[in-house]
A and B are shown apart, each in its own frame.
Chain A
Amino acid sequence: ILNVEQSPQSLHVQEGDSTNFTCSFPSSNFYALHWYRWETAKSPEALFVMTLNGDEKKKGRISATLNTKEGYSYLYIKGSQPEDSATYLCAFPSGGSNYKLTFGKGTLLTVNP
């Protein structure tokens, strides 16, 4: 069973604050790491697929980094806005050609106006 851990479990920040949270995963047999954003009552939305050690990807005010040697990825949000409030999930694929995802429990971000 793969162990994918996310911390913190929840986070409250003020509008305008920058924030970050962590996903840790098995460092052996690394293949890729996925980040998703999940707003209440909506579908999880794909943010990034991280594949190479040292990768940094950016989408607007959200960016992610990857360290495959030590088994962690950080997600950063710069200048948080209330619309960033969501649960952020990371997922680690396995299972060969079926590419099955093992998810962390997520970080629930609340941005207060």
Chain B
Amino acid sequence: GAVVSQHPSRVICKSGTSVKIECRSLDFQATTMFWYRQFPKQSLMLMATSNEGSKATYEQGVEKDKFLINHASLTLSTLTVTSAHPEDSSFYICSARDVGLAGGHYEQYFGPGTRLTVT
């Protein structure tokens, strides 16, 4: 299957600083990538859809100025958490959408995630 890497896997930062998380599709090109967040004992919640060469589409309730997404190439999307606060501490995971399967369906391949802790 396709491989998606995510870096860093774990980061601790101080309140008020910014953190950048990278998501790379290693063996395929992805025009669409997705960013999710997971709080303890909750499901993966979609934050935004990242489209190569255009602005990201954010889900309701997600602040676009706080969670900056850049998808500058077909293999790389970045999520920057700006002015991080302790409530931003969470598990962030990206996925990259592959070409369509038969019947108009798509598979998403996931990175291993990033654990962000804001102190």
Contact = CB atoms under 8 A, between A and B. Distances in A.
Give the one of A4, A42, A89, A103 with max B CB within 10 A. A103
Interface string B64-100: 0000000000000000000000000000010001000
Contacts, number: 55
B17 interface: no
Contacts of A106: 43
B contact face: mostly helix, strand, loop, or mixed? strand
Interface stretch (A11-19, A43-51, A63-71, A77-85): A43-51
Contact of B103 (A46, A51, A102): A51
B83 to A, nearest CB: 27
Contacts of B8: none
A28 to B, nearest CB: 18
Give the one of B4, B57, B93, B105 with max A CB within 10 A. B105
Given A98-B57, A100-B34, A46 B109 contact: yes
B6 to A, nearest CB: 8
Interface residues of B, number: 26
A67 to B, nearest CB: 18
Contacts of B4: 43
A89 B113 CA distance: 15
B11 interface: no
Contacts of A95: 49
B112 A42 contact: yes
A95 B97 CA distance: 14
Given A41-B112, A51-B105, A93-B106, 19 more contacts: A4-B43, A43-B110, A43-B111, A43-B113, A46-B108, A46-B109, A49-B101, A49-B107, A51-B103, A89-B44, A95-B49, A98-B49, A98-B57, A99-B106, A100-B34, A101-B108, A102-B46, A103-B44, A105-B42
6 contacts: A49-B107, A98-B57, A99-B97, A101-B34, A105-B42, A106-B43
Interface of B: 1, 4, 32, 34, 36, 41-46, 49, 57, 93, 97, 101, 103, 105-113
Q: Which 8 A-B pairs have the closest CB atoms?
A: A44-B110, A103-B44, A103-B43, A43-B110, A105-B43, A99-B106, A43-B112, A32-B105
